[in-house]
Structures are given as C-alpha cells and as structure tokens.
Amino acid sequence: MTKKNAFYAQSGGVTAVINATACGLIETARKHKDVIAKVYAGRNGIIGALTEDLIDTSKESARAIAALRHTPSGAFGSCRYKLKSVEEDRAQYERLIEVFKAHNIGYFFYNGGGDSQDTSNKVSQISKKMGYPIQCIGIPKTVDNDLPVTDNCPGFGSVAKYVAVSIREAGFDVASMAKTSTKVFVMEVMGRHAGWIAAAGGLAAENKGDAPHIIIFPEVAFDRKAFMLKVKQSVADYGYCAIVVSEGAHYADGTFLADAGNTDAFGHKQLGGVAPVLAQMVKDETGFKYHWAVADYLQRSARHIASKTDVEQAYAVGKAAVELAIAGETAVMPTIVRSSNKPYRWKIGSTKLSRVANVEKMMPKSFISKDGFGITQKCRDYLAPLIKGEDYPPYKNGLPQYVTLKNVAVAKKLSDEFIP
C-alpha cells in the first residue's frame, strides 16, 4: 500500500462534539502512519481544499489533539458552502482532485450532514474517472439528526441533552413564580424540517405535570385554537405552561410562524424568533404573563453539558472512518447501529454514501402524540439513551478549557489561485 496523506474537513453548522470526531480521526490516523502519512485539514472546510489552504495537523501536539475531544465548534473552521452539481460546475471537482494530487492525498474524510455526504460520493466517482482514485469516507454530523441509516447523528445527543436539561430547569423556575408572575414560558430550539431537537425537550417530562407541557413540531401544522386550549388547560392544571417550539414551526399553508426572510448558501431560510411571536400570541389571547428564550448557538455549542454517549459516538465515527479507509473502502459512511434499547447498546457499522446523500430522515409519526403536542413512549425509548451520561470538560478559574489549535498552513504547491 502506498503511503498517502489524508484530507479532513468539517462542513456546515458545527456542534459540541464534531471536534471529538476530529480527535478520533487524527488519533487513529497517527497510529497508522505506515498507511496515512499526515492528516491535512481544510481551513474553513471544503473551501480550504479548493483554495489549497491546508492545515498540517501533524504540527499539533498529542495533547492539543486530545483536547479536541472536549472542545466545541470546528477547530479547523467549517463552512456553509455547497458544491454545485457536477454538470453545473465540473471545474470545482477537478480542482479538488488537482489539489489532492498535488499533496499526495489519497483519503478524503468529509464530516457533515446530507449535503456533505453527497459531495463525498461525487468526489469518489470523479476521482476514479480522472484516474486519481481517492478513497472518500463521509462522517456523520448534524444536530438536526436527519441523516438516514445511522441510528442517530453525532452532535444531536448533546443538543438533545441541553434542551432537556434547560427546559427542566426553566420549568422549575416558572413553576415557582407562576402564582404572581410568569405563567407561560416559551423556549425556541433548532430544527428546520425535523422535530428531533424539539422532541428531546419532552424527555424532561418524566412525571405528570412536568415541563414541557407543549412541544411544537415542524412535522405538525400549527393549530392556534388547539394550542391555546392546551396552554389554558396546562395553566389551570399545573399553574403554568412550559413550551418548547421548533424554529421550523409553521401553519398549515407552510408559512413559518417566524420568518426572518434571509437565506443561507444552501438556500435554506434563516429562521429565528418564533418564541417571541408565540409568547405574544398567548399574551394577546389569555393575558398570561410570559417569558421566552431563544437558545440559538448556545444549544449546539454547549460542550459543558454534552452527552457522554454523544461524545463517545462522535469519537467512534472518527476512528471508524480511518479504519474503513485503511480497509480499502470508499464512498461509505460509518454509522451508529443500535443493537439494544434497554440496556442501550451500540456498535459502529457502515453504509454506502449513495444511500445517505440528500436523504432527510423525518421523525416517524409514531413518535408524536395523538394531540400533536408531545412525544410518545416509543420516541422516549429512542431518545433517552442518546442524552445519557455527562462528559465534563476540564475547568480553570471557573471556565471550561477549550483548545485553539495552531493551524499551521501546508506550503502551497500549485501556482494558480482558485476563487470558489
């Protein structure tokens, strides 16, 4: 086997544990220097490959790489940049291969969501056609938990834990104030099309009357009347009402409850602000005093309350990606396979990228309660293991100690500039 370098890039929205994946990948690659010479990372994701802006991770100490395991965000920079289709812009793909060839890169590891798996798959195909076959391994990552085949997506478990812990804590708070003050609390969480994150809030409600009392999913068209009835009933029964709402909450005609009007590079609408809209709606109809929170990036960067299960799985897919490459695989993605629910047991499997690319896994209907405002036992059984365990980062002076890498650039070998 010829010794080649590997390329690794982080893609799309970062998470509390994507660096744990990087850690697993780099630590494992370092154990196989006979096969993988060096791991180069793309500065700001795939853009780093297109612009030949590579980071030499071999310049980082073992200690720094180990610290990635407990550091949120994307240590090498990520990007929201979707490669066009091969038909539209073949030059981009050719440029990638050209850069990989120049740096003797034989392994392409792409850590992201559905779009990224699609890109990995295409790079694999084109590299073969161009006579410089690259082994392409996609690595799952998305807080939205919307990749198919894999039991769950690294990054999701930690957001799920953050959301469940937060609504439990806020619920306790509101319960103690409700007599004379706030009666309705609305917490907005991420999840454009799939309600996985919102559903995770439901884990906090273990006993009758526990917060949250209402969950608003993007899978269920918002029914204002039913919602108001439920709010009033909750206040009547428990003195207060705690609500988790997905940013993707929408009316039957598809209009989002809150629509900021902006779109990102993938053409997705930039949402935010459904919580204040909903809170005001409740105030107008019921007069109840409200408070609302929008967790936004706090939820996906909250490494301080990461799920141990999630951290372990994130590390494991990074490790498995290298092992798949060494085994000669290409156009595959390591997956998490659930072998048992109680006790929760999982192992690493793999799937073809063609089965994953651009497929969005929605919540099964059987996961949402009949009234559309809660989760079922089946959903709880699925979600519960994913938030299990704590994995605290080290602290100094009261603050978590996260690593910032040196990110030393690899000397460029190509003379021409490429503007993506």
Question: What residues from 48 to 77 belong to the interface with a second copy (CB under 8 A)?
Answer: 71-77
Shortest Cβ 79–a second copy spacing (Å)? 4
Sign of dihedral through CA atoms 219, 224, 229, 234? positive
CB 400 within 8 A of CB 393: yes
Interface residues for a second copy in 76-95 (CB under 8 A)?
76-81
Residue 183 CA to residue 80 CA, distance in Å, equals 39
* CA nearest to 346, candidates 389, 386, 305, 391: 386
Residue 353 φ then ψ, to 5°: -60, -30
- Which CB, 132 or 288, lies closer to a second copy? 288
- Which CB, 172 or 418, lies closer to a second copy? 172
Shortest Cβ 295–a second copy spacing (Å)? 6
348 beta partners: 336
Interface residues for a second copy in 279-308 (CB under 8 A)?
289, 291-298, 300-305, 307
**Structure token digits, residue 190:** 């991420």
Catalytic, 310? Answer: no
Binding span for a second copy by CB under 8 A among 271-279, 327-335, 358-366, 406-414: 271-279
Cα distances from 348 to residues 196, 207, 338, in angstroms, run 22, 34, 9
Residue 215 CA to residue 218 CA, distance in Å, equals 10
Could you give the angle at which helices 114-129 and 90-102 cross, rounded to 10 degrees? 70
DSSP state at residue 113: S
Q: To which residue do tokens 């240590």 refer?
A: 75
3-state secondary structure of 398: coil
Binding span for a second copy by CB under 8 A among 41-49, 327-335, 360-368, 411-419: 41-49
Candidate list 34, 89, 115, 144, residue with the active-site label: 144
Shortest Cβ 23–a second copy spacing (Å)? 15
**Structure token digits, residue 118:** 């699609």
The binding track of 306-335 with respect to a second copy, each residue x by CB under 8 A or -, is -x-x--------------------------
Q: Does 412 bind a second copy (CB under 8 A)?
A: no
CB 348 within 8 A of CB 336: yes
Interface residues for a second copy in 152-211 (CB under 8 A)?
161, 164-166, 168-170, 172-177, 179-182, 185, 187, 203-204, 206
- Which CB, 88 or 206, lies closer to a second copy? 206
Interface residues for a second copy in 382-401 (CB under 8 A)?
384, 387-390, 392, 395, 397-400
* CA nearest to 361, candidates 196, 190, 235, 184: 196
DSSP state at residue 362: P
243 beta partners: 186, 214
- Which CB, 63 or 396, lies closer to a second copy? 396
* CA nearest to 6, candidates 106, 117, 136: 106
- Which CB, 47 or 139, lies closer to a second copy? 47
Q: Does 272 bind a second copy (CB under 8 A)?
A: yes
Q: Does 13 bind a second copy (CB under 8 A)?
A: yes
The binding track of 103-142 with respect to a second copy, each residue x by CB under 8 A or -, is ----------------------------------------
- Which CB, 175 or 324, lies closer to a second copy? 175
Enumerate the active-site residues. Answer: 144
